[in-house]
Structure 1
Amino acid sequence: MPEPGRTTRRTVLTTAAGGGLGIAVGGASGAAAAPPQRPGRELRALLREIDPDRVEATVRKLASFGTRHTLSSQDGTRRGIGAARDWIHGELSAYARASGGRMTVELQSYVQEPGDRIPEPTRITNVVATLRGSVDPDRVHVVSGHYDSRASDPMDAESDAPGADDDASGVAVVMELARVMARRRPAATLVFAAVAGEEQGLYGAGHMAEVFQRDGADVRAMFTNDIVGSPTADDGTRDPRTIRLFAEGVPTAETDEEAGVRRAVGGENDSPSRQLARYVTEVAQNRETGMRVRVVYRRDRYLRGGDHIPFLEQGYPAARFTEPAEDYAHQHQDVRVENGKQYGDLPEFCDFDFIARVARVNGATLWSLAQAPGAPSGAEIVATGLTNSTELVWQRPEKGMRPARYEVVWRETTAAEWTHVRDVGDVDRYTVDLSKDNLFFGVRAVGENGYRSPVSFPVPRR
């Protein structure tokens, strides 16, 4: 019989339900297949409040400004990026008034000096709503969409560029989440951002990431929603129940302690962003959202980039939501009619029910992250001697939400998802009698409310 608190070494590969390979641990008392995290009552109520009609109204309003090009008018009231900025700020400020002072809204502005696609000094303004956490306010989670748009020529600030799919759809996700969450009390802080300058070179998001870094913010997750307006591909096929999530593997930035840049470590398939992607599938791929999350193991698409990239470059975990297949005939195309067909990034080509489901995926993820304890810090796998067992150590948090207990998870090195979990109690080290040479291990925190953190991937202690 195995000792209490330890699993046996013998492992047997078995065919799991659904045809994949799972791990059966012989005599492993307490070891089980890793289950998804089901949404609680408050989260279910929150997701039901997300309204496709309000999403549609937001997309149509943003498209009505004609162009939202970063180089367009900043002072107009009906046309240009300034008019869009002021409308977004007004809407978010109205939501904040229902928060009892917990949500604040700011115009985060700076002057971008001439550079790529910026011919002269240009003011770039992000509209940022911050819902301060009630228990663990220093732990921050960010969701964004970019409100600037462009025509075929990225330097054309005069032609109509309604930008319904790219990216009024993403801004609609952010604003709808801000609306439904403003009246609630997340344990950790949530940031809802509509950023500018994306089409000219990710400038607004770059500035926001630098501000977080400069201020020493503990950003645990960042998601950008960019081109989330339609499930229809350019060949007419539809996949209305799938959203892609791009998540890079090996972290973008190198360790540089002198530069003061935050760093998180991970294996080739276990970066913090990959753990974040696994977390999304666990908490947001369910009947409450009605969506399947297709994780793509890439930083982004070929020849393209999104606002998560500046956060990756600052060492923050970040990922990008985008629709299952793009219709390039309606992206970055001038508004026109040819041979009886309409072209341009118009609201008519958006599916507002689809956008609302994407918002639910984001909402389920953000709320679960905010209500859970933070992922354990300082996770290590002890590798100071030759042994067929696996000893894991981690640190309890010194402040903020204290976990009720911890779970150790593992999977085959060829498996994409964590397959097994063991509740190990309120401890900061644990030994599994399975070989660290054969499996990947991780540890996550569980709150009194049952919400689980993302997994921390241990680094070797030698």
Structure 2
Amino acid sequence: SRVTDVMNRVSDAPGANDDGSGVAGVIEAARIMSKYKFSATVIFVAVSGEEQSLLGSGFMAAKAKKEAWNIEAMLNNDMIGSNNASETQIIDNTKLRVFSEGLPAFELDKNAKNIRQFGLENDGKSRQLARYVKEIGERYVDQLEVKLIYRNDRFLRGGDHTPFVENGFTAVRITEMNENFEHQHQDLRTDKGVKYGDLIEFMDFEYLRKNTAVNIAVLANLAKAPSMPTEVKVDVKNLSNSTFLYWKAPVNGTTKGYYILMRETSSPVWQKKFFTTATELRLPYSKDNYLFAVQSIGNEDNESLPVVPAVGR
């Protein structure tokens, strides 16, 4: 991060947490994952110009859209290494936030009718990725709870995932649970006994390790999984108290089967999973009362991102 004036390129600005922690996490994830082979490509990037209106990520997202990159997920790690909050004095290294947009920034006008009609305000692509980060992160990383935050970013802030969602890609922001504003965008100084500045002495490296591990678990699981099932649909031709879902196999990767995910419309996370080796399944649950999605499962049990069904008639 910069000092108080984000355009000040002269004063010392250590940036240990904002965003030295995110860059360190990216480098460590690349170091560990480079020892293994994956069927999908994983790109590790540190962009510049975030404080000056997301210049680096904006350029990259526009380039990806223009060149039609096939990006299944983008994880933006911005400040993942500090465990304490200013003002409230909360100290906690057992929680991690994942921010995700609700209504999509990309082509909302085009999709608004279906979103409203079928109650999908909480089921955009980035929201599905956030749920995936929570499930996989908590599965593999001990003593860490992933908190789903239902907004694209914090108040008065912007992150490098935003240009990606604005260009139609699936992206989330991963960030520490408690922020200390005495250590962000501050000139280095001591005032009335309070030390200001983004210094390494305020870092919690065990917390950074756990948050980096969440990234590695999510990236590895996605990169080893088949791609998402295609043409996923829910049959609405007839009135019925059961739900019939059907789909086609993914374009890439080998599947051993599929999970059909189900949750109540008021639940933030998926509550049930049904496994099948077929490309269709009828469930004794009403489509009027539940939300559903389908994900591909690889031979080593790695799951793709879930796909919410479109209407099939």
Please indicate, yes or no, whether the TM-score normalized by the shorter chain is above 0.5. yes
Matched, 1:335 2:178: no
Q: Which amino acid aligns with 2:255?
A: P
Residue type of the alignment partner of 2:286: S
Distance 2:72 2:296 in 1: 14
Shift of 1:171: 0.4
TM-score (norm 2): 0.93
Number of equivalent positions = 305
Pairing 1:457–2:305 present: no
Shift of 1:306: 0.3
Query: Which residue is equivalent to 1:278?
Result: 131
How many angstroms apart in 2 are the aligned matches of 1:210 and 1:266? 30
Give the letter aligned to residue 293 of structure 2.
G
1:373 aligns with 2:229: no
Task: State which of 39, 56, 65 in structure 2 corresponds to 1:204.
Answer: 56
Q: Distance in 2 between matches of 1:199 and 1:358?
A: 23
In the alignment, what sits opposite 1:182?
34
Aligned equivalent of 1:223: 75
Secondary structure of 1:298's aligned partner: coil
Q: Distance in 2 between matches of 1:290 and 1:367?
A: 20
Partner Cα distance (2:145, 2:224) in 1: 23
Counterpart position of 2:172: 319
Q: Is there any run of 5+ residues in structure 1 with no aligned partner, and where?
A: 1-148, 258-264
Residue 306 to residue 410, structure 1, CA distance change in 2 (3 Å): same
The alignment status of 1:430 with 2:281, answered yes or no, reads yes
Unaligned runs of 5+ residues in structure 2 are: 111-117
Identity %: 42
Letter in 2 for 1:309: T
2:238 aligns with: 385
Find out whether 1:292 has 2:145 as its counterpart: yes
Supply the AA of the counterpart residue of 1:217: W
Of residues 383-392 and 197-206 in structure 1, the stretch that sits farther from structure 2 once superposed is 383-392
Matches of 2:247 and 2:85, distance apart in 1 = 45
Match of 2:263 among 411, 414, 436: 411
Deviation at 1:287, TM superposition (A): 5.9
Query: Structure 1 residues 404, 286: CA separation in 2 closer, same or farther (over 3 Å shift)?
Result: closer
Give the letter aligned to residue 170 of structure 1: G
Tell me, in whole angstroms, the C-alpha distance in 1 between the residues paired with 2:212 and 2:254.
Answer: 29
**Aligned partners of 1:379, 1:250: CA distance in 2, in Å?**
20
Structure 2: which amino acid aligns with 1:416? P
Query: Which range is displaced more, 334-343 or 433-442?
Result: 334-343
Choose between structure 1 and 2: higher strand proportion.
1
Could you tell me which amino acid in structure 1 is paired with residue 167 of structure 2? Answer: Q
Deviation at 1:317, TM superposition (A): 0.9
Specify the SS of the correspondent of 1:165.
coil
Find 1:355's aligned residue among 198, 208, 224.
208
Greater displacement, 265-274 / 173-182: 265-274
Preserved contact between residue 291 and residue 361 of structure 1 (Cα < 8 Å)? no
Find out whether 1:248 has 2:248 as its counterpart. no
Superposed CA deviations along residues 304-343 of structure 1, whole A, max 9, x for unmatched, are: 1100101101111111111111110110000112234321
Farther-moved stretch of structure 1 (348-357 vs 427-436): 427-436
Q: Residues 98-129 of structure 1: CA distance to partner in whole angstroms, max 9, x if unpaired?
A: xxxxxxxxxxxxxxxxxxxxxxxxxxxxxxxx
Residue identity in the other structure for 1:212: A
Answer yes or no: is 1:166 the counterpart of 2:18: yes
Higher relative contact order (CA 8 A, sep 6+): 2
Partners of 1:286 and 1:292 within 8 A in 2: no
